[in-house]
Amino acid sequence: MSYSVTISPFAPLYDGWEAYQESLIGALAALTPEQLDYRTAPQLRSVGENCRHMIGARGRWCIYVLGIRDAPLPDLARWDAKGTPSYTSAELAEGLRVSWRLLRDAMKSWSAEDLAVTMPNVDREPGEPEAFTRHWVIWHLIEHDLHHGGEISQILGAHGLTGINI
In this predicted model, what pLDDT tens digit does every residue of 90-117 receive, in sequence order? Answer: 999 999 999 999 899 999 888 888 889 9
Residues 138 and 100: their CA atoms lie apart, in Å, by: 12
pLDDT in tens, 119-165: 888 878 898 889 999 999 999 999 999 999 999 999 999 999 999 98
CB 112 within 8 A of CB 9: yes
Residue 5: predicted pLDDT: 45
pTM: 0.90
CA distance 139 to 146: 11
18-28 average pLDDT score: 95
Q: What is the pLDDT of residues 54-100, one digit of tens each?
A: 999 999 999 888 888 877 777 888 999 998 888 999 999 999 999 99
- CB neighbours of 36 closer than 8 A, spacing ≥ 6? 28, 46, 47, 48, 51, 86, 87, 88, 89, 92
SS3 111: coil
